[in-house]
């Protein structure tokens, strides 16, 4: 932070801590913010202020919210989520104001070596805090003008850096768009797991259809087979390797095969009332009615999410305003994450509405599609069909396959990759689509989920 930037800020002194706390609370009420942000404010700053106000008997301090006579309270809470793990946090109730703690957001959304404000600021902004250890703060305050100035700069940077990080990482925009897309309060997006977002969308869609959702008591479900991983042909490849990737694989499977709670056929008697062309049998042995009989809620939700994402991405390409671009990018990301979480919701081992038949069916279709893609590629692109080499799928994982076509140039591999993706896509029902993603050249395949290339891949 430059000297000119620092001069924008004023430091005001108060006679005592009691007066400081009282006037800070008054300032907050006068400013009346919707969102209070900072770095580790939930577990440190706000609890510290509340405890100091209590110790000094500043009785009017803990009324920081918008509701008159509603006291700001604090308690411990344990948050346990499959996606984010187990954490113990403070819960501070400030009625009408959202606490947007950037420290907790980064813990949840990023993988860094260190989460101190100093390390995070340097990683994302190339800036650092003022180097002041907490043990010398009192000495700086009781010193001279220069030591107090150093302390003031330390405080300014502690306040400004989180704001700059918010702007750089678009955290607030992304979370607000997630709340808007899923129909849950922003506080829920910050403090609760993934399942509440899917429940909210299900409730919204069920209401449109005049349907009721059951209250389900969570119980552990049986385990089911996961995605296919084609054993890697380990080694160093000094020829181009093409990667073909299924776009939104699990959401598109649920759409293509109409997999939903509302389309599942439990008993053979359910099928007796239908003709064989009105339902399907999934590779895992479950039965679902086709969309021509009844369209499921989950496929409709996914269709809405993915079409909205397509629209947001199209608008993003045309948009010139930088802030609007950030909003649209946040929206398309929220829509993508929401679509991907629907499958996980049905397969949660202990969830709000688990359905093993849906999750099993999705992964079984996925395994079948990966195997089918491998067979189609190797059957068509071979010497017997006039190609110079026999193509080989050297690795496949969940939603992608890596193909050695045997050609010597990146351009040839890209052309064959696009052709193969189009050919394979035509064998699957809409909206399942296999896309050419990139070419690696050269390519080092070490093990499952471990591969590398010394240069950037070709797109």
- Which domains are present in the chain? 3-167 (3.30.420.10), 229-247+362-452 (3.90.1600.10)
**What pLDDT score was predicted for residue 28?**
95
Consecutive sets of 10 residues in the chain, 459 residues long: mean pLDDT of each? 80 89 95 96 95 94 92 84 68 94 90 93 91 89 90 91 92 89 89 86 91 72 53 82 91 96 83 86 93 94 90 90 86 88 83 88 93 94 91 86 90 93 95 92 75 58
**What pLDDT score was predicted for residue 253?**
95
**What pLDDT score was predicted for residue 234?**
80
Return d(Cα 360, Cα 286) in angstroms, integer: 9
**What pLDDT score was predicted for residue 459?**
56
């Amino acid at each position: 932070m430059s000297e000119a930037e620092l001069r924008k800020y004023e430091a005001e002194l108060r006679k005592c801590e009691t007066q400081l706390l009282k006037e800070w609370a008054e300032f907050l009420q006068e400013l009346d913010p919707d969102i209070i942000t900072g770095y580790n404010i939930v577990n440190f700053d706000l609890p510290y202020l509340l405890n100091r106000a209590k110790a000094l008997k500043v009785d009017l301090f803990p009324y920081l919210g918008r509701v008159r006579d509603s006291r700001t309270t604090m308690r411990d809470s344990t948050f346990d989520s499959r996606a984010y793990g187990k954490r113990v946090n403070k819960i501070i109730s400030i009625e009408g104001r959202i606490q947007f703690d950037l420290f907790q957001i980064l813990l949840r959304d990023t993988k860094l070596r260190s989460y101190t404000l100093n390390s995070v600021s340097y990683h994302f902004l190339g800036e650092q805090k003022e180097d002041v250890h907490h043990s010398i703060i009192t000495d700086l305050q009781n010193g001279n003008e220069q030591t107090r100035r150093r302390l003031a700069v330390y405080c300014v940077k502690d306040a400004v850096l989180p704001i700059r990080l918010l702007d750089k990482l678009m955290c607030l925009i992304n979370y607000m768009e997630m709340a808007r897309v899923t129909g849950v309060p922003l506080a829920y997006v910050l403090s609760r797991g993934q399942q509440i977002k899917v429940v909210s969308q299900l409730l919204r869609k069920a209401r449109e259809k005049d349907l009721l959702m059951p209250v389900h008591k969570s119980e552990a479900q049986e385990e089911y087979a996961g995605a296919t991983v084609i054993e890697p042909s380990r080694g160093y490849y000094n020829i181009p390797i093409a990667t073909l990737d299924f776009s939104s694989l699990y959401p598109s499977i649920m759409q293509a095969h109409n997999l939903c709670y509302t389309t599942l056929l439990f008993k053979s008697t359910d099928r007796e009332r239908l003709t064989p062309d009105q339902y399907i049998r999934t590779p895992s042995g479950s039965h679902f009615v086709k969309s021509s009989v009844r369209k499921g809620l989950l496929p409709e939700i996914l269709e809405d999410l993915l079409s909205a994402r397509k629209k947001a991405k199209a608008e993003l390409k045309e948009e010139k305003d930088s802030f609007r671009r950030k909003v649209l990018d946040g929206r398309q990301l929220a829509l993508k994450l929401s679509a991907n979480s629907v499958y996980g919701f049905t397969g949660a081992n202990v969830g709000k509405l688990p359905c093993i038949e849906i999750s099993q069916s999705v992964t079984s279709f996925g395994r079948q599609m990966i195997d089918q893609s491998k067979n189609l590629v190797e059957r068509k692109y071979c010497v017997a069909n006039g190609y110079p080499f026999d193509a080989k799928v050297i690795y496949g994982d969940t939603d992608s396959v890596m193909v050695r076509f045997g050609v010597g140039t990146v351009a040839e591999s890209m052309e064959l990759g696009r052709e193969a993706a189009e050919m394979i896509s035509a064998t699957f029902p809409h909206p399942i689509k296999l896309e050419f993603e990139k070419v690696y050249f050269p390519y080092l395949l070490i093990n499952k989920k471990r591969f590398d290339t010394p240069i950037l891949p070709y797109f």
